[in-house]
Amino acid sequence: MKFASLRCEDPDGRLLLVSRDATRALDASLVAPNMLTALQRWDQVAPALQALSDRLNDGTYPATFSFDPHACGAPLPRSYQWCDASAFLHHGRLMEQAFNTPPIPDFDTIPVMYQGASDDFLGARDPVPLPDERLGIDFEGEFGVVVDAVPMGVTAEAAHQRIRLLVQLNDWSLRALGPREMKSGFGFLQAKPSTSFAPLAITPDELGENWRDGRVQLNLEVHLNDTPFGRPHGGEMNFSFGQLVAHAARTRKLSPGTVIGSGTVSNRSREAGSACISERRVLEMIDRGEAHTPFMHFGDRVRMAATDTRGGRPFGVIDQRVVRAG
C-alpha cells in the first residue's frame, strides 16, 4: 500500500491511499481519519485499507481522483517520536574528521542515534524556512521506517516485524551549530530544524526485492539546483532497520508512529557521490586541502528521489527551496 496525507483543517491531515503508479488516489479517512490513527489501530484497519488499495490499483473503485503531491504534507505530519541514527559508518567517520571529534566508542557495534523534533514535519514541496544563511544550511538524504507499538527490550528480529511503513526523508542540518552541540554531550537541538519527507509512505511489500536484509536496496538520487550531486545506494547501511528499532527500544517501548531514520545514505565508492554537502566538503578537504562546495543559500533548491531499476520512484520526490524565515 501507498499512503499520503492530504492537508486539511486537522494538523494530522486526511489519510489517502495512492495507486502504485502514484497517479490516482482515494480518500481512506472513513477507515482511519489520518496516518497516525491507522498506525495506532493497524491490526484492525490494515485489512480494510488493503482491500481499498487493491480496488484502487485494479481500477474498480469508483471515487478516485488525481494524486497531487503539492496538496499533501508529510505522510505522517507529526508523531510522538523521531529518532535518527548514523547507520552508514563511512559517513559517520567522515563527519568525525569534518568536526574534529574523537572516535565514537563502539561505533562499529552499537548504533548511534539522536532524538529529533517530531511535531512539525515538512511536506515534500514545502519551502524550508530558516533564519540565517551563515548557519551552514545542509541537506541529508535518508531512508526511514515507521513502526507500530514496539515493546521494550525487543530483539532485532522481532523489531523488524513491527515495521509498518518505509519513508524517504531529508534531515536538514545547520552545520555551524553542530560542533558545539555535539561537544556539549546533550545532542542536537538547534542544529536540526524540521525534517522533510517524500510524499508517499509505503508498506515494505511495495518494494519487493528492493526491501531486503532490513535495508532499502535503492539508489537515492540527489540534485542541488538541478545539478546531479549523488546517487548513493541504501543497501550499504551497516546496521539493519531491525537493529536500529531494537536499539531505540532497548530501555523503553516505542509508540505507534515512531519514525526511525537511517542517517545520511553514504557509500564508500566516490562514484556514488554524496547525499549531503558536508560529506562532499570533507572529501574536498582530503583531496585538495580545503572545502570548495558552499552550503546552501536562500533560493537554492534540492531534489531527492529514490529510484528503482525501471526508473520508478516509489516514495515520490522531495523538491524544496530554502527561504528566509519571517
Q: What is the pLDDT of residues 24-75, one digit of tens each?
A: 999 999 999 999 999 999 999 999 999 999 999 999 999 999 999 999 999 9
In eight-state DSSP terms, residue 205 is: G
Entry pTM:
0.96
Does position 100 have pLDDT exceeding 80, yes or no? no
Q: Give the CA diameter of the chain.
A: 62
* Separation of alpha carbons 194 and 154, rounded Å: 29
Q: Which residues contact 216 (CB under 8 A, 6 or more apart)?
A: 143, 166, 207, 210, 234, 235, 262, 306
Question: Which domain-ending residue is among 47, 71, 95?
Answer: 71
Are 180 and 240 within one domain? yes
Are 162 and 301 within one domain? yes
pLDDT digits (tens, 9 = 90+) for 141-159: 999 999 999 999 999 999 9
The grid coordinates of residue 100 equal 574534529
Question: Is residue 183 in some structural domain?
Answer: yes
Are 147 and 247 within one domain? yes
Q: How many structural domains compose the chain?
A: 2
Q: Which residue has the cell 491490526?
A: 43
Question: Is residue 77 in some structural domain?
Answer: no
Other C-beta atoms lying within 10 Å of the C-beta of residue 130: 18
Give the domain extent around 41: 2-71
Strands annotated E in 131-285: 137-138, 141-147, 163-170, 173-174, 196-197, 201-202, 211-212, 215-216, 219-224, 227-230, 259-261
Are 192 and 139 within one domain? yes
Spell out the long-range contacts of 15-18 with Cβ–Cβ below 8 A and sequence spacing 24 or more.
16/67, 16/72, 17/49, 17/52, 17/53, 17/56, 18/56, 18/67, 18/200
Question: Which domain-ending residue is among 71, 100, 131?
Answer: 71
Are 236 and 298 within one domain? yes
Question: Which domain-ending residue is among 71, 103, 126?
Answer: 71
pLDDT tier, 140 (very low <50, low <70, confident <90, very high otherwise): very high
Are 100 and 130 within one domain? yes
CATH number at residue 233: 3.90.850.10
